[in-house]
Amino acid sequence: MPVFICPRCAYRERAADRHVRHQPRGCSRCGFGFVFELLEDYYAGPKTALIVCDQERRILAGGHASFAVTGYQDDELIGHEVVERLGMAGFAKGDPAATALEWGVRQLEVDCTFRPKGADDDRPATADFFPAYDDDGGLLVALTPA
């Protein structure tokens, strides 16, 4: 049974609990406008930043723990390309964001580095990239510092 996760509050609920009709429904806990369907249950840790992007990889919203992890407020994130804005690098097998969007497949436990706001050096992290399974496309990035 599909599981949905809210990028703002990281609340998870099963499809059967959502009572979805003919249109998408947002988070039933915090009211955020949309949620991401996961093929398996996914547990975002308390130190995992969830960041929502459009199909062009531009940030639409900084969600759960995004400020605590990145140091950026929402208005400093929105509109920027996600990999560039967060200084993400060190991907061993190419660009996982591009792969997730092009092929519609998840890229899980990708080792990388990122640069929080105001930091002088890169920090090690693990990132997960989830494509949106709707007509609008999009991407959910889960960034967990090491």
How distant is the alpha carbon of residue 103 from its chain centre?
17
pLDDT in tens, 89-126: 999 999 999 999 999 999 999 999 999 999 999 999 99
pLDDT in tens, 49-89: 999 999 999 999 998 899 999 999 999 999 999 999 999 99
CATH number listed for the domain at residues 44-145: 3.30.450.20
The domain limits of the chain are: 44-145
Q: 113: Cβ–Cβ under 8 A, 6 or more apart, which residues?
A: 87, 88, 89, 90, 122, 123, 124, 125
pLDDT in tens, 43-58: 788 899 999 999 999 9
Distance between CA atoms of residues 44 and 143, nearest Å: 9
**Sign of the torsion angle spanned by Cα atoms 2, 54, 80, 100:** positive
Specify the pTM.
0.84
